[in-house]
């Protein structure tokens, strides 16, 4: 068994702030939306917490961005090898096949993470979409809803506040489902706690099961 240092400290801090932030935002988002049927807190409190955490996550997003830009790992880790498309597609299918079939019959995980290539092809596509498109979209639409007057110019680009709200809500729905699946996938290490532990320690144990 070898230990690979996959998650440097800034990434781990970013991840856990993000994790808490996401959960809080999803719950307060639900409270705001279902003010008539949910009684976790008042509407005002829900909005306040939602706004605070929104800004915390915006700052957090920039920590992530800055870290990956400064270390130059953004391209290596997040950008799929589009210059080898056939190989990438093959790898993606192999990874999907592993989660859908191989994992059941005891195949090894085809992907072996390294600090410069820690995501499997499916993760790579997913996280590129999330970090590169969905979170920025959620931030921008969130800002529009946070102060529609101040960000009216942005709202116009989107084609009105209703569309901004639609995007924000749709992403809230997506992230709500995603976070459940994400948590489940985190338990698919060689032990259920392996990946979770790694996200605390930074070290992923490379087991023969993988």
For another protein, the binding residues (CB under 8 A) are: 30, 32-36, 42-44, 47-48, 51-52, 55, 99, 103-106, 145-150, 155, 159-163, 165-166, 169-170, 172-174, 176-181, 183-184
Q: How far is the CB of 150 from another protein (least distance, A)?
A: 4
By beta-carbon proximity to another protein, the closer residue of 86 and 105 is 105
Q: How far is the CB of 165 from another protein (least distance, A)?
A: 6
Token reading at 207: 């087991």
By beta-carbon proximity to another protein, the closer residue of 62 and 184 is 184
Helix (H, G, I), strand (E, B) or coil at 34: coil
By beta-carbon proximity to another protein, the closer residue of 74 and 170 is 170
Quote the CA–CA distance of 207 and 2 in Å, as a whole number. Answer: 7
For every residue of 68-98, DSSP letters joined together read HHHHTHHHHHHS--TTSHHHHHHHHHHHHHI
The closest alpha carbon to 60, from 12, 8, 115, belongs to: 12
Q: How far is the CB of 96 from another protein (least distance, A)?
A: 13
Exposure string for 132-158, b = 16+ CB within 10 A, e = fewer: eebbebbbbbbbbbeeeeebeeebeeb
Q: How far is the CB of 162 from another protein (least distance, A)?
A: 5
By beta-carbon proximity to another protein, the closer residue of 76 and 182 is 182
Q: How far is the CB of 76 from another protein (least distance, A)?
A: 29
Quote the CA–CA distance of 159 and 155 in Å, as a whole number. Answer: 6
By beta-carbon proximity to another protein, the closer residue of 81 and 160 is 160
Quote the CA–CA distance of 130 and 61 in Å, as a whole number. Answer: 11
């Amino acid at each position: 068994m070898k230990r690979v240092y996959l998650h440097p400290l800034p990434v781990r801090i970013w991840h856990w702030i993000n994790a808490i932030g996401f959960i809080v935002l999803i719950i307060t988002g639900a409270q705001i939306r279902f003010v008539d049927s949910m009684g976790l807190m008042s509407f005002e409190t829900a909005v306040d917490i939602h706004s605070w955490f929104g800004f915390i996550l915006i700052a957090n997003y920039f920590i992530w961005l800055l870290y990956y830009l400064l270390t130059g790992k953004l391209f290596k880790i997040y950008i799929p090898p589009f210059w080898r498309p056939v190989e990438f597609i093959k790898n993606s299918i192999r990874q999907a096949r592993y989660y859908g079939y191989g994992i059941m019959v005891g195949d090894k995980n085809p992907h072996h993470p390294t600090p410069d290539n820690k995501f499997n092809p499916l993760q790579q596509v997913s996280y590129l979409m999330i970090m590169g498109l969905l979170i920025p979209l959620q931030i921008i639409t969130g800002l529009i809803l946070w102060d529609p007057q101040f960000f009216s110019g942005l709202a116009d680009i989107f084609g009105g506040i209703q569309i901004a709200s639609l995007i924000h809500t749709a992403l809230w729905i997506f992230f709500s489902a995603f976070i459940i699946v994400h948590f489940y996938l985190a338990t698919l290490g060689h032990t259920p706690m392996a990946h979770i532990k790694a996200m605390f320690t930074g070290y992923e144990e490379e087991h023969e099961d993988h």
